[in-house]
């Protein structure tokens, strides 16, 4: 019974969002803060890829965010491609106490350009805002850079949860708005073309009938 | 009388005369006297030699006449003048001899006449009598006189002695011990030591009803109070006797020790205590202790014995108790072994009966459930009716059979941990401890009959026996049975799908670890025993490798370790069987290959199968915690980790995985990884699961990147070292799009596609 929701479509749209940025900036902790409201002081560096989901409400619609967290050091282009394939949003995270992680943001932007969809919503996230006394990256500078590159921007703290929800919600909203704007285009995607269906990043709500049908199949 | 004029004739006559007659002949005339004179020295020397008075010409004789009387006549030891000495002795005693020769021995009232009219003491009378005897012995030149005189003297002496003994008996009975003391003096003079001791013994026969019927209780165990009463009674008895002996005998005659020895030998140890000990040898140490310590230390000082009294008494006790102690030492270990084995057998019999009962109850309840006719008719032949039921081509038969087997197996599993019983083992260990305490009693005793070395050997032997008994008769068969049940357990046999989803534990493994816990507890108790009883008491040296007890302990440890290892191996096998079973039943064909519409659900975390598997594993990995040492736990957990890894690999290889399904597979693999890192926490195992995560990523890769996929296969095998290239290749063949990417992959890997080869 408890697993019923596993099989039920309790959302209107499914969005794939990727977390990128240098190792140690706090990606995994942002994810766990957002999806499980947890924080881990000595989190191990991520191996491979981790997934988590959270459902948000925007304009009365339920958006299910499927967030991919990687180590960000994948040496294989094919795997990197797999990570970005179908992603509709990306959070480029840096550590406000470590300017070098901020400097690498352009490297990450380039990677997105190489591998991801052009319509991708990107947000620049300066994490560890709780460490104000150690700050190495001025807010204004980052804000400016974001504006120049048409990126969303927030400073967060996975540790004390400041702006964490906001940063994800902001990305989700932007995606939703973009999708609404391109409603027509979307219908092209919605046809679902497995087994190659790797381009599917947004799935419309299936009807109630087919829902029941699914449960039976599993 | 002409003859007397010839000196040689006179001389030879004189040689065969009694002393009295020779002296008379000497009085006849000066010629006779001088005819006798040449033979005087030889004659008197011969007489004196009978009484051991030595002739020494150089000796200065004291003034004999002044110094001696009839009571002291033979106190002279040496003389330079045998004639004078002999004549003197004769003169001192001849009147008494005459009186005695005239005495009518049947007339006891006239006995006093022997000693003349003067009042003399009984002791002096005795002294005179003893001297008369010596005189009669000495005066043997004339055989007729000699026989007559010595005979009479001896007869009188006997009569006199008997009268004195009679008097002694009367006075003893009246407890007139001061008079007895005087009589003892008299009889002592008469050389009646032995007879007096015998007399005392006869007069003080050890009471036949002195002891209680037994000092054991109804359970054949020592009644300590009864023993203590016996000891107190004995102390009182001997202190009484000692007082009497001191009063009667003083230091004149060593009666007490002889009496003590004879009673200890014949009555106390030889009879009563020996009988009691033979009823239960276990009481030997404490009885010995009571006797040697509490009995001896409460004895009052004895004037008769003097300061060696207690030492001597201890020596006697040891002397007569030693055989019992030796027997005890020999038998106590045999007894311990027999009793322990008997207890173990009883335990097993009870267990089997209980088991049989449970089995019958299973049959009964199942029979009731199916309520067949046989059930009523053959109430007492459950098995028969049962087999009948099976033989019938009843449609229920299969179901009944299944149910019965299931319940019997459930029962066997439930009982698995009872194969080794802690209480029983602990009881046996306690008995061994009691044995050690018993034998240590010997050590606590001053002047004990067995020495420290012997005690140490004995304690070591107890320990070795203890270990042997527990090992051979209990732990070994227990584990063997348990391992047998484990071995026969088939986790898939009785499972339904519902039971699988709620599967929490692999019962045999859980039960077996309970058994290990018990085994470990037993070992710990033995370890404590070893430390407390052997090491701390300095019975043996821990580091002495060749010592038998040390070796026995090591062997037990090794046996236990072996069983634990075997059992855990099988247990892990079963756990893995179960996990594999879960993979085969709960992992659905489309789990990693969702249909297109299913993509939406793909992100709901790990599959139910993965969650169930991890839950099952989590329930088992800490089974051993707290029971065995860290090393064993690590080996156990690492083994689980490694085997789990292999099962996962096997599971992946059975699947078809699509690019979308890869997400779900990765979720599963992440769950396994998290379980290893956060729950199992065996660092050695982590790389395997990290490698699995990498394998998961292979399925995410788009078919458009098939060439890169080929390169990656080679790289990955070099990079993580967990999987060989062929193995990674095999993983990739599980992609749903394998046929589409195959050519490119193989080309990238080998430079040529295998398909190309085939075409060539
Ligand atoms: N003070 C502070 N530490 C953080 C914050 N977020 C992450 N960390 C710490 O930074 C380290 C790296 O975090 P992690 O989430 O593993 O970074 P990732 O490699 O980007 O996934 C960990 O020690 C975290 O505890 C934050 O907001 N504030
Ligand atoms: Mg991380």
Q: Determine the average pLDDT of the residues in B573-592.
A: 91
Helices (H) and strands (E) in chain A, counts: 9, 6
8 Å CB contact between B94 and B145 = no
Q: B216 phi and psi, to 5 degrees? A: -105, 150
Distances (CA, A) of B177 to B164, B168, B181, B237, B654: 14, 9, 6, 18, 112
> β-strand B78-79 against B54-55: which pairing, if any?
parallel
Residues in chain A with CB shorter than 8 Å from the CB of B694 are 47-48
Determine the pLDDT at residue B479.
Answer: 93
* Domain extent listing, chain A: 13-189
Cα B555 vs. chain centroid, distance in angstroms? 20
Distance between CA atoms of B240 and B80, rounded to whole angstroms? 53
B660 — pLDDT class (breaks 50, 70, 90): confident
Q: Is A162 in the pocket of ligand 1 (CB under 6 A)?
A: no
Say whether A192 and B694 touch across the interface (CB within 8 A). Answer: no
Contact B337/A at CB under 8 A: no
3-state secondary structure B200-256: HHHHCCCCCCCCCCCCECCCCCECHHHHHHHHHHHHHHHHHHHHHHHHHHCCCCCHH
Instruction: Measure B720 CA to nearest chain A CA, in Å.
Output: 13
More confident residue, B436 or B414: B436
Given a cut of 90, is residue B362 above it in pLDDT?
A: no
Structure tokens at B74: 């033979």
Low-confidence ranges of chain A (pLDDT < 70): 1-9, 183-218
Average pLDDT of chain B? Answer: 87
Given a cut of 50, is residue B253 above it in pLDDT?
A: yes
Distances (CA, A) of B229 to B202, B224, B237, B273: 26, 9, 12, 13
The closest residue, in CA terms, to atom 24 on ligand 1 is A41
Give the CA-trace dihedral at B161, B162, B168, B171, to 10 degrees: -140
Residues in chain B with CB shorter than 8 Å from the CB of A77 are 705, 708
Q: Is A27 in the pocket of ligand 1 (CB under 6 A)?
A: yes
Residues whose CB falls within 8 Å of the CB of residue B85, separated by 6 or more in sequence, listed in order: B44, B48, B53, B61, B64, B76, B79
Determine the pLDDT at residue B752.
Answer: 57
Contact B712/A at CB under 8 A: yes
Least Cα distance to B664 among B595, B592, B601 occurs for B592
**For B688-697, what is each residue's pLDDT tens digit?**
999 999 899 9
Distance between CA atoms of B459 and B429, rounded to whole angstroms? 13
B601 — pLDDT class (breaks 50, 70, 90): very low
Nearest Cα residue in chain A from B738:
A195
B571 — pLDDT class (breaks 50, 70, 90): confident
Least Cα distance to B366 among B352, B386, B394 occurs for B386
8 Å CB contact between B682 and B641 = yes
Cα B586 vs. chain centroid, distance in angstroms? 59
Determine the pLDDT at residue B570.
Answer: 87
Structure tokens at A23: 């190792």
Strand, coil or helix: what is A155?
Answer: strand
Task: Provide the percentage of residues in chain B whose pLDDT is more than 90.
Answer: 56
**For B124-166, what is each residue's pLDDT tens digit?**
999 999 999 999 999 999 999 999 999 999 999 999 999 999 9
Distance between CA atoms of B322 and B377, rounded to whole angstroms? 68
Say whether B588 and A79 touch across the interface (CB within 8 A). Answer: no
Strand, coil or helix: what is B293?
Answer: helix
Cβ-count burial of B432 within 10 angstroms (0-12 exposed, 13-18 middle, 19+ buried)?
Answer: buried
Tokens 């599959």 correspond to B607
Query: Looking at the partner chain, which of B694, B708, B737 has a beta carbon nearest the beta carbon of A195?
Result: B737
Instruction: Measure A83 CA to nearest chain B CA, in Å.
Output: 8
Range list of β-strands (E), B372-448 = none
Say whether B608 and A203 touch across the interface (CB within 8 A). Answer: no
Least Cα distance to A87 among A48, A114, A60, A61 occurs for A114
Distance A23 CA to ligand 2 centre (A): 7
Instruction: Measure B744 CA to nearest chain A CA, in Å.
Output: 14
Cβ-count burial of B617 within 10 angstroms (0-12 exposed, 13-18 middle, 19+ buried)?
Answer: buried
Q: Determine the average pLDDT of the residues in B26-35.
A: 88
- The count of other CB atoms within 10 Å of the CB of residue A136 is 14
Determine the pLDDT at residue A164.
Answer: 97
Query: Looking at the partner chain, which of B677, B696, B702 has a beta carbon nearest the beta carbon of A198?
Result: B702
Say whether B597 and A206 touch across the interface (CB within 8 A). Answer: yes
Q: Determine the average pLDDT of the residues in B348-377.
A: 78
The closest residue, in CA terms, to atom 8 on ligand 1 is A26
Distance between CA atoms of B599 and B740, rounded to whole angstroms? 21
Beta bridge partners of A51: A68
Q: Is A130 in the pocket of ligand 1 (CB under 6 A)?
A: yes
Say whether B660 and A197 touch across the interface (CB within 8 A). Answer: yes
**For B383-395, what is each residue's pLDDT tens digit?**
555 555 555 555 6
Least Cα distance to B490 among B477, B501, B474, B506 occurs for B506
Comparing A86-100, B58-72, B571-585, the range with the smallest average pLDDT is B58-72
In angstroms, what is the C-alpha Rg of chain B? 53
Nearest Cα residue in chain A from B703:
A196
Q: Which of A7, A15, A49 has the most B C-beta neighbours within 10 Å, making it the best mutation to test the interface with B?
A: A49
Query: Looking at the partner chain, which of B659, B666, B708 has a beta carbon nearest the beta carbon of A51?
Result: B666
Nearest Cα residue in chain A from B588:
A218
8 Å CB contact between A189 and A200 = yes
Structure tokens at A214: 């699914």
Tokens 């070796």 correspond to B551
Q: Which of B604, B694, B709 has the most A C-beta neighbours within 10 Å, making it the best mutation to test the interface with A?
A: B604
Strand, coil or helix: what is A124?
Answer: strand
CA dihedral for A195, A211, A200, B711, sign (positive or negative)? negative
Distance A132 CA to ligand 1 centre (A): 15
Say whether B596 and A53 touch across the interface (CB within 8 A). Answer: no
Kindly report the pTM of this predicted structure: 0.69
Given a cut of 50, is residue B211 above it in pLDDT?
A: yes
Residues whose CB falls within 8 Å of the CB of residue A100, separated by 6 or more in sequence, listed in order: A22
Distances (CA, A) of A50 to A200, B40, B275, B664, B695: 19, 142, 85, 11, 14
Q: Is the ipTM of this complex over 0.90?
A: no
Q: Determine the average pLDDT of the residues in B456-480.
A: 94
More confident residue, B712 or B428: B428
Q: Is A159 in the pocket of ligand 1 (CB under 6 A)?
A: yes
Determine the pLDDT at residue B714.
Answer: 82
Distance between CA atoms of B365 and B360, rounded to whole angstroms? 9
Task: Provide the percentage of residues in chain B whose pLDDT is more than 70.
Answer: 90
Residues whose CB falls within 8 Å of the CB of residue B513, separated by 6 or more in sequence, listed in order: B568, B571, B623, B624, B627
Q: Is residue B136 reached through a cis peptide bond, with omega within 30 degrees of 0 on the bond before it?
A: no
Determine the pLDDT at residue B492.
Answer: 67
Beta bridge partners of A57: A62
B294 — pLDDT class (breaks 50, 70, 90): very high
Contact B101/A at CB under 8 A: no
CATH fold of the domain at A13-189: Rossmann fold (3.40.50)
What angle is formed at CA A119 by the lines to CA A117 and CA A124, rounded to 5 degrees?
A: 95
Distance between CA atoms of B346 and B118, rounded to whole angstroms? 89
State the DSSP string of B549-618. Answer: HHHHHHHHHHHHHHHHHHHHHHHHHHHHHHHHHHHHHHS-TTTTS--GGGGGGGGSSS-HHHHHHHHHHH
8 Å CB contact between B190 and B164 = yes
8 Å CB contact between A67 and A88 = no
Distances (CA, A) of A150 to A22, A113, A182: 21, 13, 19
Strand, coil or helix: what is A15?
Answer: strand
Q: Which of B664, B700, B710, B734 has the most A C-beta neighbours within 10 Å, making it the best mutation to test the interface with A?
A: B700
H/E stretch holding B749 reads: helix B738-750
> β-strand A152-155 against A13-21: which pairing, if any?
unpaired
Residues whose CB falls within 8 Å of the CB of residue B298, separated by 6 or more in sequence, listed in order: B232, B235, B239
State the DSSP string of B692-740. Answer: HHHHHHHTTS-GGGHHHHHHHHHHHHHHH-SS-HHHHHHHHTTBTTHHH
Distance between CA atoms of B431 and A110, rounded to whole angstroms? 82
CA dihedral for B545, B550, B552, B558, sign (positive or negative)? negative
More confident residue, B379 or A126: A126
Nearest Cα residue in chain A from B596:
A194
Q: B204 phi and psi, to 5 degrees? A: -120, 50
What angle is formed at CA A162 by the lines to CA A159 and CA A167, rounded to 5 degrees?
A: 110
Query: Looking at the partner chain, which of A7, A50, A194 has a beta carbon nearest the beta carbon of B601?
Result: A7
Instruction: Measure A12 CA to nearest chain B CA, in Å.
Output: 10
Distance B368 CA to ligand 1 centre (A): 66
Determine the pLDDT at residue A195.
Answer: 32
Determine the pLDDT at residue A33.
Answer: 95
B755 — pLDDT class (breaks 50, 70, 90): low
Say whether B666 and A48 touch across the interface (CB within 8 A). Answer: yes
Crossing angle for the helix pair B422-443 and B309-370, to the nearest 10 degrees? 180
């Amino acid at each position: 019974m408890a697993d019923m929701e596993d099989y039920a479509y309790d959302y209107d749209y499914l969005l794939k969002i990727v977390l990128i940025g240098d190792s140690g900036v706090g990606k995994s902790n942002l994810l766990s803060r957002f999806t499980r409201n947890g924080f881990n002081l000595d989190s191990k560096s991520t191996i491979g890829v981790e997934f988590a989901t959270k459902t948000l409400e925007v304009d009365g619609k339920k958006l299910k965010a499927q967030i991919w967290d990687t180590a960000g050091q994948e040496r294989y282009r094919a795997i990197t491609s797999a990570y970005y394939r179908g992603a509709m949003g990306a959070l480029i995270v840096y550590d406000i106490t470590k300017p070098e992680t901020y400097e690498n943001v352009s490297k990450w932007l380039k990677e997105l350009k190489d591998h991801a969809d052009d319509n991708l919503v990107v947000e620049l996230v300066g994490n560890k805002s709780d460490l104000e006394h150690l700050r190495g990256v001025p807010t204004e500078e980052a804000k400016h850079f974001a504006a120049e590159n048409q990126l969303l921007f927030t400073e967060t703290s996975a540790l004390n949860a400041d702006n964490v929800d906001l940063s994800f919600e902001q990305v989700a909203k932007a995606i939703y708005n973009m999708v609404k704007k391109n409603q027509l285009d979307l219908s092209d995607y919605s046809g679902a073309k497995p087994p190659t269906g790797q381009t599917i990043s947004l799935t419309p709500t299936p009807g109630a009938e087919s829902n029941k049908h699914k449960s039976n199949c599993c | 009388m002409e003859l007397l004029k010839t000196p040689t004739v006179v001389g030879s006559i004189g040689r065969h005369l009694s002393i009295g007659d020779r002296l008379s002949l000497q009085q006849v005339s000066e010629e006779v006297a001088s005819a006798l004179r040449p033979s005087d020295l030889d004659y008197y020397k011969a007489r004196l030699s009978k009484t051991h008075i030595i002739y020494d010409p150089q000796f200065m004789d004291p003034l004999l006449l002044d110094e001696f009387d009839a009571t002291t006549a033979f106190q002279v030891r040496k003389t330079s003048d045998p004639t004078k000495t002999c004549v003197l002795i004769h003169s001192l005693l001849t009147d008494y001899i005459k009186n005695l020769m005239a005495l009518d021995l049947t007339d006891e009232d006239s006995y006093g006449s022997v000693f003349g009219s003067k009042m003399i003491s009984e002791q002096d009378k005795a002294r005179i009598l003893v001297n008369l005897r010596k005189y009669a012995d000495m005066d043997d030149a004339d055989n007729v006189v000699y026989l007559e005189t010595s005979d009479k003297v001896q007869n009188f002496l006997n009569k006199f002695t008997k009268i004195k003994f009679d008097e002694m008996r009367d006075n003893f009975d009246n407890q007139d011990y001061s008079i007895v003391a005087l009589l003892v003096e008299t009889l002592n003079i008469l050389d009646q030591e032995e007879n007096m001791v015998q007399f005392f013994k006869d007069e003080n026969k050890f009471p036949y009803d002195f002891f209680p019927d037994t000092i054991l209780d109804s359970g054949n165990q020592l009644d300590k109070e009864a023993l203590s009463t016996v000891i107190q009674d004995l102390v009182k008895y001997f202190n009484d006797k000692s007082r009497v002996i001191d009063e009667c005998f003083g230091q004149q005659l060593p009666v007490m020790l002889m009496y003590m020895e004879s009673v200890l030998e014949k009555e106390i140890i030889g009879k009563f205590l020996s009988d009691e000990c033979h009823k239960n040898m276990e009481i030997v140490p404490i009885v010995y202790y009571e006797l040697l310590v509490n009995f001896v230390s409460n004895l009052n000082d004895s004037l008769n014995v003097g300061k060696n009294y207690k030492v001597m008494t201890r020596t006697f006790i040891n002397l007569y108790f030693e055989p019992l102690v030796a027997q005890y030492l020999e038998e106590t270990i045999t007894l311990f072994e027999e009793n322990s084995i008997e207890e173990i057998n009883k335990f097993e019999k009870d267990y089997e009966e209980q088991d049989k009962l449970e089995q019958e109850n299973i049959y009964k309840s199942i029979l009731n459930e199916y309520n067949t006719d046989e059930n009523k008719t053959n109430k007492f032949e459950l098995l028969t009716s049962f087999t009948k039921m099976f033989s019938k081509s009843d449609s229920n038969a299969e179901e009944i059979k299944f149910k019965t087997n299931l319940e019997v197996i459930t029962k066997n599993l439930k009982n698995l941990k009872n194969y080794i019983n802690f209480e029983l083992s602990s009881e046996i260990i306690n008995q061994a401890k009691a044995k050690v305490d018993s034998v240590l009693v010997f050590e606590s005793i001053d002047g004990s009959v067995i020495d420290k070395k012997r005690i140490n050997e004995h304690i070591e032997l107890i320990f070795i026996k203890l270990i042997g008994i527990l090992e051979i008769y209990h732990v070994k068969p227990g584990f063997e049975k348990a391992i047998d049940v484990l071995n026969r357990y088939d986790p898939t046999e009785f499972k339904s799908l519902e039971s699988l989803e709620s599967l929490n534990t692999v019962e045999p493994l859980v039960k077996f670890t309970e058994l290990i816990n018990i085994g470990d507890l037993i070992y710990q108790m033995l370890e404590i025993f070893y430390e407390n009883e052997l090491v701390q008491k300095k019975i043996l040296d821990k580091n002495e490798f060749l010592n038998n007890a040390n070796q026995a302990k090591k062997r037990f440890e090794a046996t236990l370790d072996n069983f634990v290892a075997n059992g855990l191996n099988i247990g892990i096998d079963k756990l893995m069987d179960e996990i594999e079973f879960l993979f085969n039943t709960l992992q659905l064909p489309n789990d990693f290959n969702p249909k297109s519409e299913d993509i939406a659900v793909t992100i709901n975390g790990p599959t139910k199968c993965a969650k169930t598997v991890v839950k099952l594993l989590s329930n088992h990995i800490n089974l051993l915690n707290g029971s065995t040492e860290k090393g064993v736990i690590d080996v156990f957990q690492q083994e689980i980790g490694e085997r789990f890894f292999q099962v996962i690999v096997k599971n992946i290889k059975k699947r078809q995985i699509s690019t979308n399904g890869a997400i779900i597979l990765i979720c599963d693999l992440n769950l396994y990884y998290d379980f290893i890192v956060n729950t199992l926490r065996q660092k050695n195992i982590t790389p395997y699961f990290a490698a699995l995560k990498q394998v998961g990523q292979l399925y995410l890769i788009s078919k458009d990147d098939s060439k890169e996929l080929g390169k990656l296969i080679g790289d990955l095998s070099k990079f993580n070292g967990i999987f060989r290239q062929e193995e990674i290749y095999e993983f990739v063949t599980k992609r749903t799009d394998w046929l589409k990417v195959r050519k490119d992959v193989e080309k990238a890997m080998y430079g040529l596609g295998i398909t190309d080869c085939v075409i060539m």
